[in-house]
Amino acid sequence: MSPAFGAMEVEHYSKGVLLEPFVHQVGGHSCVLRFNDKTICKPLIQREHQFYETLPTEMRKFTPQYEGKLPNL
C-alpha cells in the first residue's frame, strides 16, 4: 500500500470501505469511485500502473498524482 493511503482517514464499515460514485467522470473507465475529496479508485490496468511507477520525477508535476494500489479492503 502506498504511504499516502496509509495516512488517509478511512471510514471502515463491517464489510469494507465506503466508496461513492465519481460523478465527474467523462469517459474511459466503466467504474470510477471516489475514495475521498482528492482520490479516486478505478480498475487497475497493468500498463497504466507500470507507467506511473516508472514515470520520471520531472514529469510528475504534469500528471495526476498516483497513490498506488489499494489492498483488498
pLDDT, tens digit, 9 for 90 and up, residues 8-44: 555 555 567 778 888 777 666 578 888 888 888 888 8
Tell me the H-state helices in the chain: 3-7, 46-54
**Radius of gyration (Cα) for the chain, nearest Å?**
13
More confident residue, 9 or 51: 51
First to last CA, the chain: 11
pLDDT of 7 above 50? no
**Confidence band of 57 (pLDDT split at 50, 70, 90):** very high
pLDDT value for 17: 75
pLDDT value for 13: 52
| Domain-wise residue ranges, the chain | 3-62
